[in-house]
Amino acid sequence: MTLVPLETALERLLEDARPLSASESVALHEAYGRVLAEPVAALRTQPPFDASAMDGYAIRGADAGVAGNRLSVIGEVAAGGTFPGAVGAGECVRIFTGAPLPAGADTVVIQEDVTVVSPGMVELREPTRAGRNVRGAGLDFVEGDLLIDKGQLLGPSSLSLAASANHPRLCVVKRPLVAIIATGDELRAPGSTLGPGQIISSNAYGVAALARAAGAEVLDLGIAPDSRDAIAALVKKAVAAGADVIVTLGGASVGDHDLVHEVLTGEGMTLDFWKIAMRPGKPLMFGRMGDIRCIGLPGNPVASLVCSQLFLKPLLARLGGRPFRQDMRMARLGARMPANDRRQDYVRARIDELDGELVATPFDLQDSSMLRVLAASGGLIVRAPFAPASDAGEACQVLMLG
């Protein structure tokens, strides 16, 4: 099968991906980081009354403009209370931030501009413009105002705004559900005692983390041995669980024990592409099983994680209605690099900052089994197919990680 160019593969994977139509209502404390499925309108007016913006004295504007004016203190009102009377000429009410303005008052003189002459009398030390230090009713919003548009990613300020508008719950886009199936007779769970020829299954943990970072829910279905029936049984579980994306780990190549393609097509998957022109990650498979997307990731752990960054994350963001853009930056090479072959290369590199510029130094060892090198990498140097040799100091493009 001809290798599919990476850009073509990504376009085909994303071409009909749309935000999921399903939504759900969640409590405000569960809505952080979710995507709003319906617009939020104000259920109340904020503030609901003219309120003091400062600690001070509520007075009539006519009494506020002359220093030396003496005013009788006729009462006090704090936030959460009300003053039962009205402020007349030559009178004031001691008021605290957030308290409703008493009837008759339209101005607050801050306490620093007042001298207490006696327990019931104050004198204005500085004139105050009429209307100062008052938050008018509806200053923030009025009932019925559109506050948050559909499709917005909910952050701290938008959640506080929704709460202020008296919404205890919000309607949000359903998170895409990703079912992960690891395959291989050799795999054992972390913590296992290994027998001859066995290794620890590690890919699922990194792939699941990348999926959650893109706003998805994850269903880890565990490890299937190299058996058509065992793999098919987990695929059926994924379908029954309502998975939007099925991710298989390993078994998508062309060896005698690589059964994933055969099983998925047997379960109804239509293959779109299989094998792309990139390194690491050539044996990447993509197809559709009705509305379910199926991605077969390589078994090598570095290839699995790089392909998840490049393909799985943008797909999940699109399905979840989230904005997504790879963090691509320009840098200078920290070492010479040889000419590239026909595959787009993602080279693990240490990223440093020197004199305001990023410096990307490729690691000497780039084997796709070496997770330690990937964990130490701040980014991946992106090299186009047939890129010529490059010397240290030349410009390069880096996909930032972390």
For residue 140, being part of any structural domain is answered with no
Same domain, 32 and 162: yes
Residue 260 has pLDDT above 60, yes or no: yes
For residue 127, being part of any structural domain is answered with yes
The 10s digit of each residue's pLDDT in 356-368 is: 999 999 999 999 9
Same domain, 62 and 117: yes
Sign of dihedral through CA atoms 305, 311, 314, 315?
Answer: negative
- Domain CATH code at residue 239: 3.40.980.10
Q: What domain range is 343 assigned to? A: 328-400
* Nearest alpha-carbon partner for 112 in 130, 94, 124: 124
Two tokens, residue 84 = 């039962």
Task: Tell me the whole-structure pTM to 2 decimals.
Answer: 0.86
For residue 111, being part of any structural domain is answered with yes
For residue 245, being part of any structural domain is answered with yes
CA angle, residues 276, 336, 332, in degrees to nearest 5: 85
For residue 1, being part of any structural domain is answered with no
Distance from C-alpha of 177 to C-alpha of 237, rounded to nearest angstrom: 13
Residue type (1 letter), 245: V
Query: Of 300, 319, 338, which closes a domain?
Result: 319
- What is the reported pLDDT for 2? 82
A 10 A CB-CB count for 342 gives 10
The 10s digit of each residue's pLDDT in 115-127 is: 999 999 999 999 9
For residue 35, being part of any structural domain is answered with yes
The 10s digit of each residue's pLDDT in 285-326 is: 999 999 999 999 999 999 999 999 999 999 999 999 999 999
- What is the reported pLDDT for 257? 52
CA atoms within 13 A on the CB side of 304: 31
Same domain, 309 and 375: no
Tell me the DSSP string of 303-362: HHHHHIIIIIHHHHHHHTT------EEEEEESS-BPPP-SSEEEEEEEEEEETTEEEEEE
Residue type (1 letter), 94: R
Same domain, 81 and 115: yes
Two tokens, residue 149 = 């548009």
Same domain, 215 and 281: yes
Say which residue the tokens 């009025």 belong to. 142
Q: Which helix (H) or strand (E) holds 14?
A: helix 6-14
Same domain, 124 and 223: no
Mean pLDDT of 263-284: 94
Mean pLDDT of 88-117: 97
Give the distance from CA 230 to its chain's centroid.
35
- Domain CATH code at residue 390: 2.40.340.10
Same domain, 93 and 129: yes
Same domain, 299 and 339: no
Q: What separation, in Å, do the N-terminal and C-terminal C-alpha atoms of the chain show?
A: 34
Same domain, 186 and 296: yes
The 10s digit of each residue's pLDDT in 211-240 is: 999 999 999 999 999 999 999 999 999 999
Same domain, 38 and 162: yes
**210 — pLDDT class (breaks 50, 70, 90):** very high
Same domain, 198 and 301: yes
How many domains does the chain divide into? Answer: 4
Sign of dihedral through CA atoms 15, 21, 24, 28?
Answer: positive
For residue 265, being part of any structural domain is answered with yes
For residue 142, being part of any structural domain is answered with no
- Phi first, then psi: what are they for 393, rounded to 5°? 95, -20
Q: Report cis status (omega within 30 of 0) of the bond before 48.
A: no
Two tokens, residue 360 = 């990307």
Residue 252 has pLDDT above 70, yes or no: no
Q: Percent of the chain having pLDDT more than 90?
A: 95
The 10s digit of each residue's pLDDT in 43-85 is: 999 999 999 999 999 999 999 999 999 999 999 999 999 999 9
CA angle, residues 125, 130, 133, in degrees to nearest 5: 80
Residue 255 has pLDDT above 90, yes or no: no
Query: Of 319, 345, 367, which closes a domain?
Result: 319
Same domain, 32 and 166: yes
- Domain CATH code at residue 96: 2.170.190.11
CA angle, residues 136, 137, 140, in degrees to nearest 5: 90
